[in-house]
């Protein structure tokens, strides 16, 4: 969820900054390409969140995290 909000806030703040600079200088830079890339990133992050939530629902998320921790500790002990 963090990245979802971070990307959205970044999009809004960057667009605001470019428009403010355009008013001050009289030279406008298009933000369409930036907005498209950021929105695509938002869709990817949202999709990843949905897939992760579905995977966690299918198996016990805490059990999966504990198994990953055990595997990490076993590798570290070697």
Find out whether 38 and 7 touch, Cβ atoms under 8 Å: yes
Provide the 3-class DSSP secondary structure of residue 4: helix
pLDDT at 69: 76
Q: What is the pLDDT of residues 4-45, one digit of tens each?
A: 788 889 889 998 998 898 888 888 878 888 888 888 888 888
Whether 68 has a pLDDT exceeding 70, the answer reads yes
pLDDT at 28: 80
43 Cβ neighbours under 8 A, 6+ residues apart:
none
Q: What is the DSSP letter of 9?
A: H
Domain layout of the chain by residue ranges: 2-77
What would the 3-class secondary structure string for 22-60 be? HHHHCCCCCCHHHHHHHHHHHHHHHHHHHHHHHHHHHCC
pLDDT at 60: 59
């Amino acid at each position: 969820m963090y990245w979802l909000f971070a990307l959205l806030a970044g999009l809004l703040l960057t667009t605001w900054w470019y428009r403010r600079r355009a008013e001050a200088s009289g030279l406008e830079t298009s933000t369409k390409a930036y907005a498209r890339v950021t929105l695509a990133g938002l869709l990817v992050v949202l999709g990843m969140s949905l897939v992760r939530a579905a995977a966690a629902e299918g198996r016990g998320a805490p059990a999966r995290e504990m198994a990953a921790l055990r595997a990490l500790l076993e590798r570290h002990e070697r």
